[in-house]
Amino acid sequence: MDDATYLLHRLGTSIIVLLGVSVVTYGLLFLTPGDPAEVILTQQLDRQPSASEVESFRATHGMDDPVPVQYVSWVTDVLRGDLGTSYYSDTAVSTLIVDALPLTIELAVASLLVALAIAIPTGVLSAVHRGSAIDYASQLGALVGVSMPNFWLGYLLILVFALTLGSLPVAGAGSYGQLVLPAITLGTGMAAVLTRLIRSSMLEVLDEAYVDTARSKGLRERIVLYKHALRNALVPVVTILGVQLGSLLNGAVVVEIVFQRPGLGMLLVDAVFERNYPVVQGITLVTAGIFVGTNVLVDLSYRYLDPRVELGGETV
């Protein structure tokens, strides 16, 4: 399958996925108990709204229409680039997302760098020294990292580095110091998963004939490991990176709450509790789009890592 055909195929499947996500999200929101108009007006007015106020709010925001009609209307607006307006501030949802998204992307990228900085050397060392104390310590650390909840690690880091040592800020965003603890919190779990995968992948690659050939040419062991072996061992790792992006975005919700970072995660949680449906729908759609787009890029990167791989096909 050539690149153009593959991209068209992935574009079609991506549209289907995004439609499915939007339908599920829209349906679940309207299955929640209670009248959203009454809940929203109670918070806005700080009192119980009258029946006429509730009816006026529902009519203004199209809540009186059947759910399928509301959904079609929302999809039509989305296709025109309009994600709707917040029920509370009358601010465009796209504006709210654009303001919050950079902080979430910053956290996700920093967490990914932390994970790779831990996982690559640890996984390679564990594979090279399999059966040794280094290998066992690596596997134990990976098990602890996978088992540790993000919120627990976040509070532990706050207790040690912020409250006890006073060396790093606890909350907020805008400086590199405020990014350190959230990035470590979110990146540790991913590092544990990648460490185990890199170890197993390196063990397979180190038994290949081309690795022995590289060594027989007198190349230094570091060059053999990181230039020849690691590059081929990264193919399955890149696959997991694409999948782990979803975990990073999900984990960012918890981490942003713990460290009070005003990113997409905090915006989403606030919108859910406020029954601010347009914001919830917009964030869900954008997040799904990022996830789908990243997985397409991951597939395209296979061609660089292993030229034998054909897009949409098997290794040749």
DSSP 154-208: HHHHIIIIIIIS--S--S--SSSHHHHHHHHHHHHHHHHHHHHHHHHHHHHHHTS
Output the CA–CA distances (angstroms, integers) from residue 28 to 24, 272, 275, 288, 291, in the order listed: 6, 11, 12, 16, 20
pLDDT at 222 over 90: no
Give the span between the Cα atoms of 285 and 273, in whole angstroms: 18
Q: How confident is the model at residue 305 (pLDDT cuts 50, 70, 90)?
A: low
Report the pLDDT value the prediction gives residue 148, as an integer from 0 to 100.
86
> pLDDT by residue (tens digit) across 137-184?
998 988 888 888 888 899 999 999 888 888 888 888 878 888 999 999
Average pLDDT over residues 262-291: 89
> Which part of the chain is CATH 1.10.3720.10?
94-305
Report the pLDDT value the prediction gives residue 307, as an integer from 0 to 100.
59
Report the pLDDT value the prediction gives residue 316, as an integer from 0 to 100.
44
Report the pLDDT value the prediction gives residue 282, as an integer from 0 to 100.
92
Tell me which of 246 and 36 has the higher pLDDT.
36
Give the span between the Cα atoms of 168 and 185, in whole angstroms: 14
Q: How confident is the model at residue 279 (pLDDT cuts 50, 70, 90)?
A: very high
Report the pLDDT value the prediction gives residue 205, as an integer from 0 to 100.
83
Report the pLDDT value the prediction gives residue 292, as an integer from 0 to 100.
84
Residue 262 backbone dihedrals phi, psi, to 5 degrees: -80, 60
> pLDDT by residue (tens digit) across 38-73?
888 888 888 888 888 888 888 888 888 888 888 899
User: What tokens does 206 get?
Assistant: 């180190």
Report the range out of 2-16, 78-92, 290-304 with the highest average pLDDT: 78-92
Q: Which amino acid is at 21?
A: V
Average pLDDT over residues 288-312: 71
pLDDT at 95 over 90: yes
- Please provide the average confidence, as pLDDT, over all residues in the chain: 84
Report the pLDDT value the prediction gives residue 241, as an integer from 0 to 100.
76
Average pLDDT over residues 70-83: 90
Report the pLDDT value the prediction gives residue 169, as an integer from 0 to 100.
86
Average pLDDT over residues 245-250: 74
Fold for domain 94-305? MetI-like fold (1.10.3720)
DSSP 42-107: HHHHTSPPPHHHHHHHHHHTTTTS-HHHHHHHHHHHHHTT---B-TTT--BHHHHHHHHHHHHHHH
User: Which residue in this structure is represented by tokens 């709010």?
Assistant: 57
> pLDDT by residue (tens digit) across 177-199?
889 999 999 999 889 889 988 89
Average pLDDT over residues 18-25: 90
